[in-house]
Amino acid sequence: MSKTPFDTIESAQEFLALLREAVDEAKYTCSCDILEADSKAPRRLDALRLVSYKLEKLEQHLKGSRRLLNDLRSLRRLLLEERSEPEVTGQGIESVAQPQVGTGRSSAQRRPGQQPIAL
């Protein structure tokens, strides 16, 4: 199977982080261009304002996408029991299990007939 940038939720999150940096940089450049725009070129100023508006909308969509990916990652951890849970003994918490990375349960831990969940 070939690897793509979106094979995992984490790789999609990394992509969104890079895209957000690019959008932030573009917004800064656009705002500088608006400040330096010549008043004799109203169409250019209108176009720059439209670019600024579209970048703002894109930033809002990226924030929503980041929240959705976080929700999916949390649900995957819940479904695959990847969250670490403390082992409680008579004297309190003795050790904390480390979260598993990857596919979750091993084939020996899955119930018979249960398929791995790929998110």
Q: Is the pLDDT of residue 3 over 90?
A: no
Statement: the pTM of the whole predicted model exceeds 0.75: no
Long-range contacts of 12-17 (CB under 8 A, 24+ apart): 12/69, 13/66, 13/69, 13/70, 13/73, 16/62, 16/65, 16/66, 16/69
Q: Is the pLDDT of residue 96 over 70?
A: no
pLDDT digits (tens, 9 = 90+) for 6-25: 789 999 999 999 999 999 99
Q: Report the C-alpha gap between 83 and 23 in whole angstroms.
A: 33
